Amino acid sequence: MVFEGLANKLQETLRRLRGKGRLTEKDVDAALREVRLALLEADVNFKVVKDFIGQIRERCLGKEVLESLTPGQQVVKIVNEELTKLMGEKQAKLNQAQSPPTVVLMAGLQGSGKTTSAAKLAFSLKKKQHNPLLVAADIYRPAAIKQLQVLGEQLGVPVFQMGAQDPVATVRAALESAKKARQDYVIIDTAGRLHIDEEMMAELRRMEQAVSPHETLLVVDAMTGQDAVNVARVFKEKLNLTGVVLTKLDGDTRGGAALSVRAVTGCPVKFVGLGEKTDAFEPFHPDRMASRILGMGDMLSLIDKAQASYDESKVREMEKKLREQQFSLEDFLDQLQQLKKMGPLDQLMEMLPGMGGLNKKLKGMTVDEKELVKVEAIIKSMTRQERLTPLIINSSRRRRIATGSGTRVQDVNNLLKQFEMMQKMMKQFGKGKIKGKGKFPLM
């Protein structure tokens, strides 16, 4: 889970406040002490924590909380608003050139994920019907140019390179090439170092002067915590930095970088990397991230993922099948494959309201994605007739399916039993007979 330690502590603190019918100044101070400790443990900048806590305390001791009939909920609302404000209030979109191409310069230290992030950004733009060009301007790191070429080939994005020539000459030539080819984005992968040095900064400044980028994005590794913020501060002083890309936000990160970087540098976080896959790259929404940290879910991001993964005509067809109670194992397999495109299940679960707070309780019940692979293998081992009419699957067929999928007959039996329960549930939904919460199968 993103910011798991911080999220769990904040949610637990605020949960205790929600259970009180009336709050005193002592209650507020006790809760804010815990919030302060949680933020410091998450490696958030000390000055940022001090200002953040001061702002919350001032609002919590005002009339909107102390005289409220639901003071605990008001505190949660205030913390959510201040957390959102801390991270930037609203999404910061990419600047665009008045006349294409838009030039994006990617800077950062070696090992921060700069080359991969450049490719991911190009891929996300391509999916939105843009025509990006990747530029290999890192001539120092061994195989850096080759890495970008391989990524470009995988994603279907052209890569411009001039070997070990002067990087400034390379970016100038790339810009001219993009104009001729009518490519609307030029994304430049620059060289990094293991530490900040004047030589690297001088080269980046020469590139800025040569191509006047519309965006200069600093790529930082979120797992480095407060060090990432210090790096961002130095780059901001040396370059016309316009935004930050945080990578490895899905790792064992404490969250300090994401919560501090805007306040310390004045530069918004524009994108975040949430995994190694090329589509694990998202625009950063401060309001949605604040909701996820506080266990309120993130339905808007979940809807965005669904819209990007699901074909509209298929959705209408599936809706019709569900209404007419014609949902088969073939349809279920199709839905399973569509779901996999949306990303890891644990990340999707975080986006559901209330699931963040249940994280600890669900530790032993987390959905194992290997189980979904097993389910997919079982269904693919069936004939089309068996998928459409599961009732014909007798004991001999079950043994054949288990052998074909490398699973046990018991696994096949469990899948068929759960699917039968799901079909019954859908019929009841269709007739409006579902009442109460009930227990639903894992599927």
pLDDT at residue number 333 = 80
| pLDDT higher than 90, residue 136 | yes
The verdict on 332 and 415 lying in the same domain is yes
The verdict on 318 and 291 lying in the same domain is no
Which of residues 36, 59, 87 is at a domain's end?
Answer: 87
The verdict on 133 and 202 lying in the same domain is yes
Judge whether 389 lies within some domain.
yes
The verdict on 64 and 160 lying in the same domain is no
Judge whether 97 lies within some domain.
no
Residues 342-376: pLDDT tens digits? 666 666 655 555 544 444 444 444 455 677 888 88
| pLDDT higher than 50, residue 443 | no
The verdict on 42 and 137 lying in the same domain is no
What number is the average pLDDT over the span 73-86? 87
Q: Return the CATH number at 8.
A: 1.20.120.140
The verdict on 44 and 143 lying in the same domain is no
Residue predicted with more confidence, 202 or 89: 202
Judge whether 11 lies within some domain.
yes
Residues 277-330: pLDDT tens digits? 888 898 998 888 888 788 765 455 555 655 555 566 666 666 666 566 677 888
The verdict on 39 and 131 lying in the same domain is no
Judge whether 257 lies within some domain.
yes
The verdict on 250 and 356 lying in the same domain is no
What number is the average pLDDT over the span 51-65? 86
Do residues 97 and 122 lie in contact, with contact meaning Cβ atoms separated by under 8 Å? Answer: no
The verdict on 318 and 360 lying in the same domain is yes
d(CA 432, CA 265): 55
| pLDDT higher than 70, residue 116 | yes
Judge whether 96 lies within some domain.
no
Judge whether 384 lies within some domain.
yes
Q: Report residue 441's pLDDT band, with 50, 70 and 90 as the boundaries.
A: very low
What number is the average pLDDT over the span 6-30? 82
| pLDDT higher than 90, residue 121 | yes
Give the β-pairing of 185-190 and 102-108.
parallel
Which of residues 57, 87, 117 is at a domain's end?
Answer: 87
What number is the average pLDDT over the span 247-263? 77
Which of residues 277, 295, 313 is at a domain's end?
Answer: 295
Task: Name the domain count of the chain.
Answer: 3
pLDDT at residue number 117 = 95
| pLDDT higher than 60, residue 419 | yes
Judge whether 175 lies within some domain.
yes
The verdict on 116 and 65 lying in the same domain is no
Do residues 246 and 273 lie in contact, with contact meaning Cβ atoms separated by under 8 Å? Answer: yes
pLDDT at residue number 133 = 97
Judge whether 441 lies within some domain.
no
Residues 380-415: pLDDT tens digits? 999 999 988 888 999 999 999 999 999 999 999 999
Q: Return the CATH number at 151.
A: 3.40.50.300
Q: Return the CATH number at 421.
A: 1.10.260.30
Domain that holds residue 387: 302-431
The verdict on 141 and 285 lying in the same domain is yes
The verdict on 427 and 318 lying in the same domain is yes
